[in-house]
Structure 1
Amino acid sequence: MSDPANVHGSAVRIGDLGILIRGPARSGKSSLALSTLRRCAALGLDAVLVADDRILIVRDGDTTLHMSAPATLAGLIEISGIGILREPCAASAALGLVVDLVDPAIIDRLPEPRTTTILGLPIRQVDLPARDASFGADILASVVLSPFADDV
């Protein structure tokens, strides 16, 4: 495995899909992570926090990236206006999707499939509206329930 990259964001795992959530400060990264966990639980999907605030990412071989929390942050999530809460967490997850939280006005209605490169590996990337955790959680649950239809 490679030396870890230390990335600012949040990360969850839904089933086998590890999702890295990135965005500027106060864009709703932790809110989206928590909303996704609660929405998936309501749908009967296996979902768990991987990390909040800082994510360690390591490359494992030619095709896989693994995400984990720094030991001091494992199982903790920050909720604005509330503080730090404890949340069950996974030791690690294979990174399969990167979500960037952006201004809704710049999101393409029907974007072409895109990737972003992390530690030299391409990872599927999508933009979701910042500060809209409920809608974003619905989308992430939908991605697991009905995978991308790139060939449509």
Structure 2
Amino acid sequence: MLWAIRAVLALGLLMASHSARKGRRVLVELERGISQRERFFSISSSRSANMSLSPWTYRDTFDLSRVPNRIFHAHCLTSGCLTVQNGEEDMSLEAKPIYYQFPVLRKVQKRQNGVNSGGRKRGRTFVFRLGIETVAVGCTCVKPSMVLQ
């Protein structure tokens, strides 16, 4: 799935840059609605977070200069892991976030000097740059790392 998203983003950026070189304007519309699949994913994700031995919650980040604008980051609720028997926190194991990298588009102002053909100052123009965002998607139990002295 991730490779498909990357391919679509790369193809769209390639087409946009090719059209821009020829002096054409490019309009990119992004659908803001939530599909049924995304709703199912968010519901099943929250169930997994509550059933895990290292439970987590999601924190929302919002950035107007990023596509997607809203990204949810997992935050571990315990420093240890819960036991299966009674659900108490076991400090012999550590709850650690699981990180995942995925592509985002960043809106960046394009530098323009001078005036346009009508003698007026040029308006601000923006370009989208492909970037990578590292996001915590959940938490897992790990053995604590020990440093021998």
TM-score range, shorter chain: under 0.3
Q: Which has the larger radius of gyration?
A: 2
Query: TM-score under structure 1 normalisation?
Result: 0.26
Greater strand proportion = 1
